[in-house]
Amino acid sequence: MRTKLVAGNWKMHGSLAANLGLLHAVRDGAGGAAEVALCVPYPYLAQAQAALNGSKVAWGAQDVSEHAQGAWTGEVSAAMLADFACRYVLVGHSERRSFFGDTDAVVAAKFVAARKAGLVPILCVGESLAEREAGITGEVVTRQIDAVLGGCEITDFAKAIVAYEPVWAIGTGRTASPEQAQEVHALIRSRFAREDAAIAGGLRILYGGSVKAGNAAELFGQPDIDGGLIGGASLVAADFLAICAAAA
């Protein structure tokens, strides 16, 4: 049985003052069987570590450099994230792919860097609205996965997570129906099963795309959906905790 995971992605939101109440509320309210994590902006990793250390809630970052060290001004390495006891790091989020030019090859390199540092990468994959309407969702998602598989061992996914995030459903209020989401999650699992059935069976695949308290239970009830990657709702403690409760 795969343990559900609900991971919050704060994106570029927060302040030291505002974060404290949110971190404490999530820390104190998280319970049940589901695992909970918060991926916060780099400047707030120390604050998250201090607030969440010893609690049920894990923390992580929203991106990582593919480089280990060197003259890469503005970049943050996986080892630096490990210094703050991060468990998770997002790689290949659609906003990184769309706005910052992260290619499939760059995402693959970031995944490898994260694993080498002992982090659990949350590999984000998903299609745009144009790609869904063109009927090539499966091709796009498979290409994104294959790029990473080409740069690592299948065993790396024993300590990794995949998040399916249809780009057309992020921050738009539109959500893939539970059946649409399940179809892609099943496709993702079948792709990994071609490499290793045991790893595919244990792989946690999250859904990300306008998940709210009102639709979380139905989404998480699908056989291949193992939790959620939560954006806007993770900024409101009550909303985020209600989603966590739906996964328990």
Reply yes or no on whether 218 is catalytic.
no
- Tokens of residue 242, six digits: 């209600």
Region of 26 please: left (phi>0), alpha (psi -120 to 50) or beta. alpha
What lies within 8 Å, CB to CB, of 232 at 6+ separation is 171, 210
CB atoms within 10 A of CB 183: 16
Residue 165: active-site member: yes
| CA atoms of 223 and 217, how far apart (whole Å) | 12
Point out the catalytic residue in the list 35, 66, 93, 127: 93
Q: Which of 95, 127, 131, 165 is catalytic?
A: 165
User: Cα 225 to chain center, whole Å?
Assistant: 13
Residues 144-171 as b or e (16 or more Cβ within 10 Å = b) = bbebbbebbeeebbeebbbbbbbbbbbe
Question: Could you list the active site residues?
Answer: 93, 165
